Structure 1
Amino acid sequence: ANAQNAQLIVSQVGANTNWKMCLDTSLDAHAEAKTHVRWGAECQTYDMSMLAAAEFNTTKPKVEVKAQWSKIPEC
Structure 2
Amino acid sequence: MLKDVERCIPSEEKYLEAFHSIYEGLTPGHKAILNKLYQHCYFMKDNRRLRTWELSEAAGYDGDSSGQIGHLGAKFC
TM tier, shorter chain?
A: under 0.3
Give the structure with the larger helix fraction: 2
**RCO higher in structure (CA 8 A, sep ≥6):** 2
TM-score normalised by length of structure 2 = 0.24
TM-score by length of 1: 0.24
